[in-house]
Structures are given as C-alpha cells and as structure tokens.
Amino acid sequence: MHYQSPKKLEAVILDWAGTVVDFGSFAPTKIFVEAFASFGIDVSLEEARGPMGMGKWDHIRSLCNQEAVAKRFIAKFGHSATDEDVTEIYNLFMPLQIAKVAQHSELIPGALDAIQSLRNSQLKIGSCSGYPKVVMDKVVDLARTKGYEADHVVATDEVPRGRPSPAQALANVIALGINNLAACVKVDDTEPGILEGKNAGMWTVALRFSGNFLGLTYEQYQSLSANEKEQQRQRIDALFALCQPDFLIDTITDLPAVISQINQKLAAGELPSR
C-alpha cells in the first residue's frame, strides 16, 4: 500500500465562543472577572482575556500565575495561589458560567450561511471548546434553537488534556471518521486553539475580529472605520504570529473562500505547515 496525501478537505473543526457564537467572546471573560471578585481579587476584563482558549481550570491557574494578579493574591491572602485556591475559584466560576452563558449565546452574524456553504461542499463539522461539558451542553442546546448544530462536540473535560494539546481536535477526527489529519482544518480565535490544530497536524485558520483579541461587540466592531480595522488587523496578526496559523481571516464569513484555497493547495500536493 502507498501513502497518498488528501486532495481535498473532509472536515472543519470549529471553536465556539468567538468563532460561531458570542461575538467578542464575552461569556467566559466576564464570568472570570465575577468569580475572582467573589474570591476577593480584582481582575480586569483585559487580564481575564489573556489565557483564553485554555480549559477553564487551567485558565484560572494561568491568571493566578500572572505577575500582577499574583501580587494582589499575596497582598490579600499572604501566600501565592495554591491549586486548592484555583479549584475554589473554579467552583465559584462554574455556576455563574452555567447561569449566564445564555446572555452571550447569539450566533455570530453570517455564521449560519458560512457553515451551510461548508456543508454544501460535503464537509463534516466538528467542534470543541474550552468549556467543560456541563456548560458546553447548554451552549449546544442554545445554538440548536438558533439553527446551528455541529456533527460532533468535544468539551475540554472529555479528554485527558485541554488546549493546546491536540486531544479535542483528534477526538473529533476519530468520531467523524476522518483518515488523514491534513484533510482537516481547525478554526479558532485564540492562540491555544490554533496550537491545538497545529499540534494535531491540521490546517489552521485564525479569526481576528469576532473573538478574544479584538474583544468588541458586533456593534462596536461595525462602528470601526476602515482605517481602524486595518490597524487592528496588523495588531492582531502580530499577536497570532508566534503560533503561525496557516490563514488569518476577519470572521467566519470569510471561511468558505479560505476552504477553496486550502483545497487548491491540497490538490497541488501541499500539506499544512508545522
């Protein structure tokens, strides 16, 4: 038997918040601020966005390790945050997240049309998120009422390790019956999500404007001038540079055109960058 590289894509693995739902990725970030406040530590929205894309316990651990937050923690409690402290903050975070995720559940404008275009191209739709399953189930149910349902969903606590580990992306590959990782593309608005796709050997597409790095509502994004958008493109592209996505696009509405470009590359024998 001889190896043959794929000639076209078979599956797209989509992130959720900031990619398909919740323009600006506000549901997780605002709740981190509230959870830390309940624990007696002030964390800004900008600080909360820093580790976005990781599993939520790991996200809280990373926040506690940030120098500014760590100093506040020591000033408040006299010691650095332990794993037990992280778990206590996580336990404050979870009920808030479950209760309030519906406040930021709207589909990103144009997402349904873009995903339908992918389906028209016979692509399977996998998905994964930094949310644990108890939250992910609610996000999925809300999206279904608005017309979006992925072929498969993997929550961060359904695999041994969350992002940037490739485990969630690979779990989708297995469930969807895909034989070659180069026939898959991972789409995400965060660095851990892009690294997840690269570590899995997939094509990767980073989103500039609908997610964490811009951090604006859709209305705020729409109000930006052409010059402001271009400035933000350059800033965000620089932020994504270290994780080396194969493509950068503004929002999911630009994805079908990139899928066509990837198919052309596959047909010419090219494979995802590593």
Cβ–Cβ contacts within 10 Å for residue 9, how many? 24
The separation between the first and the last C-alpha atoms of the chain, rounded to the nearest angstrom, is: 25
Name the active-site residue from 56, 124, 186, 198.
Answer: 56
Cβ contacts of residue 45 below 8 Å, gap of 6+? Answer: 29, 30, 33, 215
Instruction: Give which of 85, 98, 101 is closest to 38, Cα–Cα.
Output: 85
Name the active-site residue from 7, 8, 15, 124.
Answer: 15
Cβ contacts of residue 145 below 8 Å, gap of 6+? Answer: none
Q: Are 151 and 124 in contact (CB under 8 A)?
A: yes
C-alpha dihedral sign at 154, 157, 160, 163: positive
56 is an active site residue = yes
Token match 């597409």: residue? 205
Residues with catalytic function: 15, 56
